[in-house]
Structure 1
Amino acid sequence: MDNLNLFNVKEDKFWLDTLPNYQRDIVSELLNIKSYEEAAIAWLEASVDNTSPFSAQPQPEKRFFPLLKKEVHKLLCGDPVYAAERSELVKLSQSHENKTAIVSMVSALIGAKVGLAATFIAPAIVIIFIMIAKTSLNAWCALDTTEN
């Protein structure tokens, strides 16, 4: 597996700083009162009715977080579908200064796959990254994301 030098900083602020102030403030507030997963779900469900009607893919249920986790898992854990994108991500991950570009790239890539705007899912991607940093990428890749 390629070396992704992304998740060795354990502080939430590292990834939260990649978000614009208005998103960072809301996500920080959510993280103060909810678990990581609950905060991501709350973010995605709070205004999804305003964004999902514009997507190319129908979304009958608000089950975006499991879908995002599954796609991020595929990207970060080496699914062949994302081989080229992962290679680019490995290059970007060599410097912590690229963290905003990494969040933007992953949000755009996953957003296009699931039919949601990158700016809308970026906070959920950041929360997923924080969750991974709290454990490790290897531990997170060992999780089965197919049950959701």
Structure 2
Amino acid sequence: MADLNLFSDVEESGWLEALPSYQKEIVSELLASKSHEEAALAWLEASVDNTSPFTGQPQPEKKFLPLLKKEIHKLLCGNPEYAADRNELAQLTQTKENKTAIVSMVSAVIGAKVGLAATFIAPAIVIIFLMIAKTSLNAWCALETSEN
């Protein structure tokens, strides 16, 4: 497995800086009043109407956060499905200053996999990264494995 050194020595502001200022401000406000999980849900649910396809059929309830967490788990925790992407991500992590590129790459890869726009899920990706940074990648991988 590629060595992903994404979360060592990264302060919360480092991940938030990866977002455009308008998203960073909203996410910061959400995090000031909500848990990380609640903030990610609030972000994803606030814009859900803009991401659903146009159709006359009723749409099933979207469960974006569990889907994103599942795919991020697969990417970061060693699922062979994401081996090439993980290697590319490992190369990006060599320059710890490049948080915007990391968030953009992960958002694009995960967004393409789940059928959501990278710009829509980038703030949720950052919030999930903040959750991981609170513990460690290994602990998060073990926890998410037990919950799936």
**Structure 2 matches for 1:93-112, cutoff 5 A?**
93-112=93-112
How many aligned positions are there? 145
TM-superposition CA deviations, 1:40-77 (whole Å, max 9, x none): 000000011112226xxx96212100000000000000
* Structure 1 stretches of 4+ moved >4 Å: 145-148
Tell me if structure 1 keeps the 8 A contact 2:16–2:126: yes
* Cα distance in 2, alignment partners of residues 92 and 59 from structure 1: 37
Tell me if structure 1 keeps the 8 A contact 2:15–2:129: yes
Q: Tell me the residue number matched to 1:92.
A: 92
Tell me if structure 1 keeps the 8 A contact 2:44–2:121: yes
**Residue 77, structure 1, aligned to residue 81, structure 2:** no
Q: Unpaired segments of 5 or more residues in structure 1?
A: none
TM-superposition CA deviations, 1:122-148 (whole Å, max 9, x none): 000000111111100000111235756
Amino acid at match of 2:116: L
**Structure 2 matches for 1:39-58, cutoff 5 A?**
39-53=39-53
Look up the SS of the partner of 2:98 in the other structure.
Answer: helix
Tell me if structure 2 keeps the 8 A contact 1:41–1:65: yes
Q: Tell me the residue number matched to 1:23.
A: 23
- How many percent identity over aligned positions? 77
**TM-score, scaled to structure 2:** 0.92
Q: Tell me the residue number matched to 1:9.
A: 9
* Cα distance in 2, alignment partners of residues 40 and 101 from structure 1: 20
Look up the SS of the partner of 1:88 in the other structure.
Answer: helix
**TM-score, scaled to structure 1:** 0.92
Q: Unpaired segments of 5 or more residues in structure 2?
A: none
Structure label with greater radius of gyration: 2
Q: CA RMSD in A?
A: 1.7
Residues 1:91 and 1:69: Cα distance change in structure 2 (over 3 Å): same
